[in-house]
Amino acid sequence: MADHASEQNESPTPESSQDRLGRLAESARELPRTPGVYLMKDAAGTVIYIGKAGSLRDRVGSYFVPSTDLGLKKQPMLELVEDFDTLECETEWEALLTESRLIKDVRPRFNAKLTDGKSFPYLAITMREEFPGVFITRNPTDEPFKGARLFGPFTSVSALRDSVQLLQRVFKYRTCTLEIDSRDPKNRFFRPCLLHPIDQCTAPCANKISPEEYRKDIDRFIRFLTSKRSAMLRELKKEMDEASSKLEFERAAKLRDQIKAIEKLDDRAKRSRDDQREWQPEVTVFASDPAAALRSLQRTLGMDNPIRCMEAIDIAHLQG
């Protein structure tokens, strides 16, 4: 009896680091390949890191590849992760915005540098101007952005820049710093930049659009940033039907084109994620630490086992 009691009092064997990563990797394989936000948690259930993903399964799973090296910033975080939660988003932009909001609200310890907002990028829409511009800035309190509608801060300026360029194809806002007055007669002779002929800007600088119509595009852009994609599409389709019923066919056609462009955003994002999974990386820098370079390549390729052998062909001798 005593022996049996002592067996019952024995504490369970602690989970090894390898077993923990294996358990987390198995959970990650159940995630969908959709955009979203992931929240890493420690043993107490506290959120210690928040990140965004174009594909939740691929991004979260990349953390738990055996022998992976996440660098000096993320490796200590990985050693504390016991669980994770995810939030699915309709678009990568929604994931980018949700990540920003959650980091400011939750203030995870490994995102601490972002919570003060210093030196991180914001999206600014200069609402005080007759034709509001859309800009990326690290100094949202500067004079040009007083009264601007701000979104952020964001973790990645490159992701933000890509989103702004992609959404410009839909809402055709200006990103220039010109001071535009619709009453200036010289506008009629002004030659717009190349964004106008490729249909990425409505060229208010050359009086190609009225202040009222331009403001409607900006309002739709803001609604897109602050609402669900599906809700935004419903609103636009309702506006299009109303315009058609009033025989405002030019306006209805413009709304139809915006609807199609928004629907194509998901197709572009999906193709981008597929390309990343099929991407064959190239060596562009010299690796001073071969072991670290192999771990980085293993993580990039999503391989379960460490790289032991590499083959190469010298193309200089293929032609004899």
Q: Across the chain, how many H-helices and E-strands are there?
A: 11, 6
Q: Please, what is the end-to-end C-alpha distance for the chain in angstroms?
A: 83
132 preceded by a cis bond (ω within 30 of 0): no
CB 108 within 8 A of CB 50: yes
- Residue that is written with structure tokens 């990103």 in the block: 175
**How far is Cα 232 from Cα 116, in angstroms, rounded to an integer?**
31
CB 88 within 8 A of CB 77: no
User: Which DSSP state fits 183?
Assistant: T
- Residue 311 is predicted with a pLDDT of 65
Closest among 156, 175, 139, 173 to 97, alpha carbons compared? 156
Q: At 263, which amino acid appears?
A: E
Strands 149-151 and 122-125: antiparallel
CB 164 within 8 A of CB 175: yes
User: Which DSSP state fits 130?
Assistant: S
Return averaged pLDDT per consecutive 10 residues of the chain, 320 residues in all: 50 76 92 95 94 93 74 79 94 88 90 64 94 94 92 84 87 93 88 90 94 93 82 84 86 83 61 44 48 65 66 53
User: Which DSSP state fits 319?
Assistant: T
DSSP string, 184-203: -GGGGG----TTTTTTS---
Q: Return the ∠ at Cα 118 (arms to 116 and 120), rounded to 5°.
A: 110
